Amino acid sequence: MAHEDCIFCKIITGEIPSAKVYEDDYVYAFLDISQVTKGHTLVIPKTHVKNIYETPSEVAGELFARVPSIANAIKAAYKPIGMNLLNNNEAPADQSVFHIHIHLIPRYGEGDGFSSNWTVHTEDYTPGDLQTIAAEINSEIK
């Protein structure tokens, strides 16, 4: 079901133009208008869902099922030396378009435009803490 104010739903219908990479009954893949690296592609489900929290497993299954072949196509076309997948959920985590999408960002080497910087806090968590956290998350799985 298309969402009337959603730019990605409008891309699927062709109302907003895009550089289409692939399309089938379930997914649409197109170049990110802001190319981080050459071939930076977004893969979206044709079903409008806001983000990972609201994605039914069947939609997630159809979406992710197509990611490997698209990743391999980018690899074959441009010979990147690596590839990062990125999925941002909610504005504080940098989601700016609220129709779930997977970024495929081919990597070409240092200074190619993408970096994933994070600071680890390994020393803050004992093995017991990790067991507790894992159990707390597990208890919420529906």
* Residue 8, phi then psi, degrees to nearest 5: -75, -35
Measured CA to CA, the distance from residue 98 to residue 123 in angstroms comes to 35
Query: Who's near 38: CB < 8 A, 6+ residues apart?
Result: 78, 106, 108
Tell the smallest beta-carbon distance from residue 18 to ligand AMP (Å): 5
- Tell me the two tokens of residue 56: 């039914």
Tell the smallest beta-carbon distance from residue 7 to ligand AMP (Å): 5
- Binding residue for ligand AMP, selected from 13, 15, 16, 131, defined by CB under 6 A: 16
Measured CA to CA, the distance from residue 83 to residue 78 in angstroms comes to 11
Stretch (H or E) spanning 10:
helix 7-13
Active site (annotated) includes residue 101: yes
Q: Which is nearer to ligand AMP, 85 or 133 (CB)?
A: 85
For the segment 78-117, give every residue that binds ligand AMP (CB under 6 A).
88, 94-97
119 binds ligand AMP (CB under 6 A): no
Measured CA to CA, the distance from residue 96 to residue 65 in angstroms comes to 24
Q: Which is nearer to Zn ion, 45 or 80 (CB)?
A: 45
For the segment 63-122, give every residue that binds Zn ion (CB under 5 A).
99
Measured CA to CA, the distance from residue 104 to residue 23 in angstroms comes to 16
- Binding residue for Zn ion, selected from 40, 46, 48, 66, defined by CB under 5 A: 48
Active site residues: 101
List contacts with ligand AMP (CB under 6 A): 7, 16, 18, 32-34, 88, 94-97
